[in-house]
């Protein structure tokens, strides 16, 4: 990338940030929120202490796993909206693998749970892929439907077969034995195992998409499925592989929630990371180098949102509104950039 191109991209990004700030002001003022102070409180609430940084990193891990996984099906021009359900199924499979070891286990049991979570997420994603490839059901509709099914299965397990002894409540299943928790990074609330898995996923997806023939063929399938069929690239097989790989990483995110954060299966075990990952991908324009940093940005907002009701008397959901504004601003600027480029070419 030459210097002029870098300066141009920096300028467009600055314009997007200014637009996001302006839209934040428009949204915040009717709610009685001082815009600049609201943004300051959000960021300070996420990085003002080591304990908060630990919570930010604990949120960064599953969000990054989901976000980098989404890059795989998007390479084939597929929208895997079912990531949320795949996170949930990964958590369910991980919990199922741990149930025979309620009184404790070792490293081997934790590895078994991680492998089971990847299998659960991959199988749930495969179901959406089969509906897409053989049933001609668009992946958006199948993914959304399977998300609700996964949530229903979770509730059934928590209030049914896996309910806590003598009680069934939204508090989830019986807490895991301490020996089944992922080891933490010092005194922080994040596991070094989870951080390692997220970093490994980034490297793995980069290598897979940009350094292998498989990634090249996957891009070819996404660009022209009919041509891919003529050249015997096996588009159906590759689409299913893309779904399964993405689902496997999403399932792993579910396992980190069970083993490293909540230490039980909860109704809201996914924490909405599957849907947030879609925003991350769109904001990054599905470019891998930007994904980890945008995930960190969103994780800071999520942790900092807890301070909004405490310091400003605002609802913590305002953080989600600001995230949406960021993505919307980027889309507006990208659309303006494309319109100006087309107009210049026509002239």
List, as one string, the DSSP characters of 287-340.
-GGGHHHHHHHHHHHHHHTTHIIIII---TTHHHHHHHHHHHHHHHHHHHHHHH
pLDDT at 57: 94
User: Using an 8 Å Cβ cutoff, are 269 and 91 in contact?
Assistant: yes
Over residues 97-113, mean pLDDT: 89
Over residues 45-55, mean pLDDT: 87
Over residues 225-236, mean pLDDT: 60
- Whether residue 134 has pLDDT greater than 80: yes
Q: What is the pLDDT of residues 55-64, one digit of tens each?
A: 999 999 999 9
Q: What is the pLDDT of residues 268-278, one digit of tens each?
A: 999 889 988 98
Helix (H) or strand (E) holding 193: helix 192-210
> Model's pTM, two decimal places?
0.87
Mean residue pLDDT across the chain: 85
7: Cα within 13 Å, side-chain hemisphere: 3
Over residues 219-234, mean pLDDT: 63
| ∠ Cα 213 289 269 (to 5°) | 95
Q: Which residues pair with 29 in a beta bridge?
A: none
- Whether residue 94 has pLDDT greater than 50: yes
Higher pLDDT, 12 or 190: 190
| Most confident range, picked from 209-223, 237-251, 323-337 | 237-251
- Whether residue 2 has pLDDT greater than 60: no
pLDDT at 214: 87
If you count them, how many residues does the chain have? 347
């Amino acid at each position: 990338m030459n210097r002029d191109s870098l300066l141009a991209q920096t300028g467009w990004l600055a314009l997007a940030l200014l637009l996001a700030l302006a839209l934040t002001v428009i949204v915040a003022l009717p709610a009685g929120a001082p815009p600049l102070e609201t943004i300051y409180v959000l960021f300070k609430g996420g990085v003002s202490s080591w304990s908060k940084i630990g919570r930010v990193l604990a949120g960064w891990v599953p969000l990054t796993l989901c976000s980098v996984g989404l890059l795989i099906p998007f390479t084939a021009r597929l929208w895997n909206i079912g990531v949320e359900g795949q996170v949930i199924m990964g958590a369910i499979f991980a919990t199922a693998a741990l149930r025979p070891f309620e009184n404790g286990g070792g490293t081997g049991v934790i590895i078994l749970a991680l492998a089971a979570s990847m299998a659960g997420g991959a199988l749930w994603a495969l179901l959406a892929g089969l509906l897409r490839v053989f049933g001609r059901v668009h992946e958006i509709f199948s993914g959304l439907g399977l998300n609700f099914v996964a949530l229903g299965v979770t509730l059934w397990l928590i209030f049914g077969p896996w309910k806590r002894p003598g009680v069934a409540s939204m508090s989830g299943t019986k807490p895991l034995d301490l020996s089944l928790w992922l080891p933490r990074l010092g005194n922080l609330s994040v596991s070094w195992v989870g951080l390692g898995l997220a970093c490994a996923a980034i490297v793995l997806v980069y290598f897979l998409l940009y350094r292998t023939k498989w990634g090249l063929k996957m891009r070819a399938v996404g660009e022209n499925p009919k041509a891919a069929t003529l050249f015997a690239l096996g588009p159906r097989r590759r689409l299913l592989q893309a779904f399964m790989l993405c689902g496997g990483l999403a399932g792993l995110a579910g396992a980190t929630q069970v083993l490293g954060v909540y230490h039980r299966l909860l109704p809201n075990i996914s924490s909405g990371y599957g849907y947030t990952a879609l925003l991350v991908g769109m904001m990054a324009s599905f470019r891998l180098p930007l994904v980890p940093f945008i995930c960190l940005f969103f994780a800071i907002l999520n942790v900092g949102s807890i301070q909004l009701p405490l310091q400003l008397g605002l609802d913590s959901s305002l953080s989600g509104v600001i995230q949406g504004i960021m993505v919307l601003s980027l889309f507006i600027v990208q659309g303006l950039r494309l319109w100006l480029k087309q107009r210049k070419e026509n002239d």
